[in-house]
């Protein structure tokens, strides 16, 4: 089997690496020429430039902002581009099946599977992961009330990849963290799944975000 992994953002590699390694170990070929499958983490990617290739969407986060799975435009784009959806849980499978017709299969999240076996549980490292949207981010709240934390030597701050200013990779930060502070970033949901003590900060402007999810969605349940 021949497989291609397109990347729109560097952090997609965190999601691809475990799948890439497993495919290579099983003797499959990773290529950008004539693939049978395109495995993508983004709803904007498709297999159209490869004749006969199928597109498998694995997502790139738990979509805590609701920006993809609650956006009609992105859902239509996902339905158009992907042949199969590989989703994290029955929750996501049911959510998507009620909105689009693309077949979905529950596979978990390979990136987190790898972290379960390779987390460092010693030390006292705080990992702060804010999102960047003004209606959702906790940045101003942290600056006003938690300056002592923000100056801590054991603090890792990792902004959304859109900022392009992160020195520590997402997988490494989650591997080292003993406490995670976040807001409406999917990193907070990932930390909960990994059983890391997690603080999610409420932004009172959240309802103004264009695709903010309903009360039953995973963000608000968290």
pTM: predicted TM-score of the whole model, two decimal places? 0.85
> Which one of 18-22, 107-111, 148-152 scores highest in mean pLDDT?
18-22
Contacts of 209 (CB under 8 A, 6+ apart): 65, 66, 133, 135, 136, 184
Average pLDDT over residues 1-18: 86
Output the CA torsion sign for 109, 192, 13, 98: positive
- The Cα–Cα gap between 198 and 100 comes to 32
- The Cα–Cα gap between 156 and 189 comes to 17
Q: What is the pLDDT of residues 127-182, one digit of tens each?
A: 999 998 889 999 888 887 666 665 566 888 888 776 656 678 788 889 889 999 99
Buried b or exposed e, range 142-159, using 16+ CB within 10 angstroms: beeeeeeeeeeeeebbbb
Strand order of the β-sheet with 126-129 is: 155-157, 126-129, 179-182, 198-200
Q: Higher pLDDT residue, 60 or 41?
A: 41
Average pLDDT over residues 180-195: 93
Average pLDDT over residues 6-33: 89
Average pLDDT over residues 9-21: 85
């Amino acid at each position: 089997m021949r497989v291609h992994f397109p990347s729109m953002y560097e952090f997609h590699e965190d999601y691809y690496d475990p799948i890439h390694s497993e495919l290579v170990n099983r003797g499959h070929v990773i290529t950008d020429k004539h693939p049978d499958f395109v495995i993508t983490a983004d709803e904007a990617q498709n297999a159209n430039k490869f004749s006969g290739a199928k597109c498998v969407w694995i997502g790139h986060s738990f979509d805590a902002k609701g920006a993809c799975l609650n956006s009609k435009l992105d859902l239509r784009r996902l339905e158009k581009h992907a042949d199969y959806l590989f989703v994290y849980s029955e929750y996501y499978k049911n959510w998507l099946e009620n909105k689009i017709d693309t077949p979905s299969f529950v596979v978990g999240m390979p990136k987190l599977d790898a972290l379960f076996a390779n987390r460092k549980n010693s030390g006292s490292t705080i990992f702060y992961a804010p999102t960047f949207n003004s209606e959702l981010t906790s940045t101003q709240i942290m600056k006003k009330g938690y300056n002592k934390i923000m100056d801590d030597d054991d603090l890792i701050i990792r902004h959304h990849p859109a900022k392009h200013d992160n020195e520590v990779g997402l997988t490494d930060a989650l591997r080292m963290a003993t406490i995670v502070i976040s807001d409406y970033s999917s990193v907070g949901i990932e930390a909960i799944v990994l059983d890391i003590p997690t603080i999610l900060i409420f932004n009172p402007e959240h309802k103004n975000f264009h695709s903010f999810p309903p009360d039953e969605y995973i963000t608000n349940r968290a």
